[in-house]
Amino acid sequence: MGDNSNAAKIETATKSRTEATAPTTLLLVASNFRYWNDALPSTAEIDLTCCKLVQLVHCCRKQMTIQIRGTAHPPPGGCNSDPADLNAAEIGTTNVAGRPLLNEHDSSARVGTCLASWEGTRGELRIAAEVSDPAAIEQVRNGSLRGLSLGTDMVLDQQGDVLYKKQAELSICAEGRRPGTWITEVDGKVIHRHATFSKDEWRRKSNCRTFKPCGTLGHTAQTAKNHNT
């Protein structure tokens, strides 16, 4: 009875995606040791329990990180002409995987790791990263750190022209200098989107619509192209 009860507790805690913490793990370990003192389990039972505990610890560690996605650099021409800005070719070849994720470019405040980068559908530089620092996670969740900013190392000649540049790090920040550089997803959920409601935009959307006659009774069918902003 005791073995089944403890196994059920471990199974429930392992599968749960709620507030799993280290004290929970210690409590489960203690309860299993109390059970073992009452009745010595078999080797198979010990192996099963240890396996479940390893899974639980992994789950606890996973709860201590969040996955973010966002735009680290707008499409070419979408920002001021700074030597650090990227052109289309540079965006297409930039790889920030493995680079440190910092808080406001503070090298002493690493809060996670970049996982991947790729060129988005509009020509922007998209990134995926893991945030592991608890304080930074809270700031991302409450909206105080939602911007993204590239930390670029550059080698210049004596005239100030760029000979070589690479992305040394990526930072989460209150707001990036480049336009549109925001965290857009946290753990797969969209937390930032851009919507426009100007008259010119409405006219542009209206011009995308076409009207075609349907049937012989003079009815009209409307087909419209979606416009995502």
- 83 shares a domain with 72: yes
Count up the domains in the chain and report the number: 3
Please state, in angstroms and rounded to a whole number, the distance separating the CA atoms of residues 184 and 215: 44
Residues 133 and 166 in one domain: yes
Q: Can you give the pLDDT at residue 39?
A: 57
Same domain, 169 and 131: yes
pLDDT at 37: 52
Range of the domain at 28: 2-63
Q: What is the model's pTM?
A: 0.60
Q: What pLDDT is recorded for position 43?
A: 72
Q: What is the CATH number of the domain that holds 103?
A: 3.20.16.10
Q: Which of 15, 42, 63 is the last residue of a domain?
A: 63
Question: What pLDDT does residue 6 have?
Answer: 41
φ and ψ at residue 30, rounded to 5 degrees: -65, -40
| Confidence at residue 206, expressed as pLDDT on a 0 to 100 scale | 57
Same domain? 57 vs 79: no
Predicted confidence at residue 30, as pLDDT, reads 45
Would you state the pLDDT for residue 217? 35
DSSP secondary structure, the chain, as one string: -HHHHHHHHHHHHHH--S---HHHHHHHHHHHHHHHHHSPPPHHHHHHHHHHHHHHHHHHHHHT-EEEEEEEEPSTTSS---TT---HHHHHH---TTPEEEETTEEEEEEEEEEEEEE-TTS-EEEEEEE--HHHHHHHHHTSS-EEEEEEEEEE-TTS-EEEEEEEEEEEESS-SSTT-BEEEETTEE--------HHHHHHHHHT-EEEEETTTTEEEEE------
- Based on the fold, state whether residues 50 and 141 are members of the same structural domain: no
- Each residue's pLDDT, cut to its tens digit, for the chain (229 residues) gives 544 544 444 444 434 433 444 444 444 444 554 444 555 566 766 667 667 666 665 555 555 899 999 999 999 986 667 889 999 999 999 999 999 999 999 999 999 999 999 999 999 999 999 999 999 999 999 999 999 999 999 999 999 899 999 999 999 999 999 999 999 999 999 998 876 676 675 666 555 444 333 333 333 333 333 333 3
Identify any residues that bridge with 113 across adjacent strands, giving them in sequence order.
100, 130
97 and 181 within one domain: yes
